[in-house]
């Protein structure tokens, strides 16, 4: 079976270095928020091109902490996409604010600035732009809109470590950039981890307070806070993998090139890169009206695929009841058509070609192309 992602393969490719770094942490005796976390924060901030990085427990917490640090709370609305990991909206809910969903751009699967503008109300406090699948949302337009309407802009960078818009790395453009280090991400830990980055020293200070009980000093809580600390073992592993992130991203882009070349005459809708942006291919997502049949066929050929995401957030039970009734046509159509092909740096070219052959076989013998959903 060719897996859709393979975090173990990544561990094996750094095995000796990871084991010795873990040993060092174990022998050192400090397991949470120590030297490794401090060094990783410095290195990651430099990599992204910001002054501050705050290591946290996971990507959901990075978003929750960012919203809290920006003053978002009960009574506020936060505009974001419904076509994303539920974590994006869950983080808004955790603050007591209401997630308001705007539709996506068809080609890029990211927040449509025109729809955002239409969704702004006097209660709107912030926008969360999700850089889905490995490339930028229309951040130039969203940043301009946020500035002109006095809104905060958070970048959800869980799927775009290292990607750029123009010269700048994603995460460095909004007020706060939020990263997840879930094991399958482009920069993945061997457990959970996350990071919030910002250029603003005051926001960085607030993020640090909120991530540890609101402590201004040990045992003295100056503000509300909870526990969302990054641990030393994850930080040590992430420091090692950060060194090869650009190389890993280049390998993903190379594999994406193989897919695109192999499938370009197939009639399938293939990923499009936003002009002026780089794509780091966290996922290689194709579109077909026969998605479910294709997925089944590929599974039978030993190719594991996934759907990101099968049910838009505004249609999920926990959200449906509280969301105002709405239709998000691009989002709802995407959920029926998207399919993620295997993509990870250790994927062999031979395997990528097997995936292409299996997709083509489906198209030749299966139900054919047909029109995409309206
Ligand atoms: C777009 C997006 N946002 C947020 C998250 C949440 O990250 P985590 O799983 O580390 O909490 C994820 C990962 O699942 C994600 O893909």
Sign, CA torsion 120/125/131/137 = positive
In a domain? residue 142: yes
For residue 324, the model assigns a pLDDT of 63
CA nearest 234: which of 282, 183, 161, 284? Answer: 183
CA of 360 to the centre of ligand 1 (A): 32
For residue 143, the model assigns a pLDDT of 98
Counting as low any pLDDT under 70, the low residues of the chain are 323-325, 366-371, 374
For residue 22, the model assigns a pLDDT of 97
145 and 167 together in one domain: yes
190 and 279 together in one domain: no
Mutate to test the pocket of ligand 1, among 99, 155, 182 (most ligand atoms within 8 A of CB): 182
Of 242, 276, 307, which residue sits at a domain end?
Answer: 242
For residue 371, the model assigns a pLDDT of 58
133 — alpha (psi -120 to 50), left (phi > 0) or beta?
A: left
Cβ neighbour number for residue 374 with a 10 Å cutoff: 5
For residue 299, the model assigns a pLDDT of 98
User: Which tens digits make up the pLDDT trace of 39-91?
Assistant: 999 999 999 999 999 999 999 999 999 999 999 999 999 999 999 999 999 99
47 and 172 together in one domain: yes
For residue 323, the model assigns a pLDDT of 61
57 and 159 together in one domain: yes
d(CA 352, CA 47): 30
Lining residues, ligand 1, CB within 6 Å:
58-60, 84-85, 87-88, 130, 156, 158-159, 180, 182, 192, 194
**pTM, to two decimals:** 0.97
Residue 175 structural domain: 7-102+109-242
CA of 59 to the centre of ligand 1 (A): 5
CA of 41 to the centre of ligand 1 (A): 19
* Count of domains observed in the chain: 2
Mutate to test the pocket of ligand 1, among 60, 285, 309 (most ligand atoms within 8 A of CB): 60
* CA–centroid distance for 332 within its chain: 20
Looking at the CA of residue 58, tell me the nearest atom of ligand 1.
10
CA of 40 to the centre of ligand 1 (A): 20
Q: What DSSP line would sit under 174-239, residue for residue?
A: SSEEEEE--TTSSS--SS--EEEEES-HHHHHHHHHHHBTTEEETTEESS---B-PPBHHHHHHHH
186 and 279 together in one domain: no
270 and 123 together in one domain: no
For residue 372, the model assigns a pLDDT of 72
216 and 260 together in one domain: no
230 and 256 together in one domain: no
CA of 220 to the centre of ligand 1 (A): 31
232 and 266 together in one domain: no
* CATH number of the domain bearing residue 89: 3.40.640.10
In a domain? residue 374: no
């Amino acid at each position: 079976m060719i897996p859709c992602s393979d975090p173990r393969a990544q561990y094996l490719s750094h095995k000796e270095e990871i084991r010795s770094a873990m040993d060092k942490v174990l022998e050192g005796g400090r397991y949470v928020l120590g030297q490794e976390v401090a060094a990783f924060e410095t290195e990651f901030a430099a990599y992204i091109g910001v002054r501050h990085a705050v290591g946290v427990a996971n990507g959901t917490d990075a978003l929750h902490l960012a919203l809290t640090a920006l003053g978002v709370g009960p009574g506020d609305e936060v505009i974001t996409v419904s076509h994303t990991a539920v974590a994006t909206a869950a983080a808004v809910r955790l603050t007591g604010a209401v997630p308001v969903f705007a539709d996506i751009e068809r080609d890029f699967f990211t927040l449509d600035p025109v729809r955002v503008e239409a969704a702004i109300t006097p209660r709107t406090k912030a926008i969360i732009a999700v850089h889905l699948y490995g490339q930028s949302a229309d951040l130039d337009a969203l940043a301009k809109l946020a500035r002109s309407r006095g809104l905060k802009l958070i970048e959800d960078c869980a799927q775009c470590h290292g990607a750029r818009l123009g010269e700048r790395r994603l995460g460095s453009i909004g007020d706060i950039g939020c990263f997840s280090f879930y094991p399958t991400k482009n920069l993945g830990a061997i457990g959970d981890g996350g990071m919030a980055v910002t250029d603003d020293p005051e926001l960085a200070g607030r993020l640090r307070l909120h991530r540890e009980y609101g402590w201004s000093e040990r045992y003295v809580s100056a503000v509300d806070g909870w526990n969302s600390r990054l641990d030393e073992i994850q930080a040590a592993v992430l420091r090692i993998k950060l060194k090869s992130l650009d190389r890993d991203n280049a390998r993903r882009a190379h594999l994406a090139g193989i897919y695109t070349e192999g499938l370009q005459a197939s009639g399938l809708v293939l990923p499009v890169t936003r002009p002026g942006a780089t794509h780091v291919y966290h996922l290689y997502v194709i579109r077909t009206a026969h998605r479910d049949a294709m997925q089944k066929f590929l599974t039978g050929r030993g190719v594991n695929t996934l759907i990101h995401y099968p049910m838009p957030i505004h249609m999920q039970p926990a959200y449906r009841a509280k969301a105002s009734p709405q239709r998000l046509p691009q989002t709802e159509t995407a959920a029926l058509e998207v399919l993620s092909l295997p993509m990870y740096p250790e994927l062999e070219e031979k395997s990528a070609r097997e995936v292409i052959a299996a997709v083509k076989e489906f198209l030749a013998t299966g139900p054919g192309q047909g029109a995409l959903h309206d």
